[in-house]
Structures are given as C-alpha cells and as structure tokens.
Amino acid sequence: MDGVPESHNGWTFLTNHARVLAAIADNQSARVRDIAARCRLTERAVQKIIADLEQAGYLSHVRQGRGNSYHIDPAKILRHPTEAGQGLTVASLLSLLIHDEDSRAVLPGESTRASG
C-alpha cells in the first residue's frame, strides 16, 4: 500500500487500537507496514498505537532478526470503566475480532447441518 490510506468519515464500532491489536493477534510477527495496510492506517499511526499498547502493558515485543515478534497479554483487563467493571479481558475482545475459519460460530439463520 503506497501513501496515506483512504480516509474514513463518520463513526465506527472499533477503535484503531482494537484494530491494531486484532491484526497483531492474527499474526504476531506482522510488520508495521502490513498492520497499517490491513487497518487502513499510516505506518506512523500504527507505530504510535503499538507504543501506546506497550506502555499500558497490553503488548510487548521481542526483536527477531529484522522484525518483531509481539506478545499480547490476554488476561489484561480492558480500560473503559464499563468493561473493566465487568472484568472483560483482552482475550474476550479478541475472541470477537479474530477470524478463525475452523472455529467460527454459526451465525443466526445459518444451518449447522450439511445440505444434500
């Protein structure tokens, strides 16, 4: 992806911090460039978000060769008082955001039986 990603107007359900965290959870060795492309953010914005997440203890990294390997603390309680008061963790958030085709829940209206 070259240059600045297309801008978005209006509100969204997820923060950029949640998007970056989900991208890292999906690929712990992803490059900042790849995270930025996936999240439609600039590399500079992703670097700032990663620094925020590390400073707050949600994320750490280890240098591996020319790249990084990230580690997410799944037991860390979410920051907003509403979620924190309910004891919701990073793991609970990521379970909603990560796409794992083998363990996806069946959506309402979908059948679990094979048609034939």
Mean pLDDT, consecutive 10-residue segments, the chain of 116 residues? 63 92 95 96 98 97 94 95 92 83 49 46
Whether the CB-CB separation of 81 and 93 falls below 8 Å is answered with: no
What is the value of pTM for the model shown?
0.77
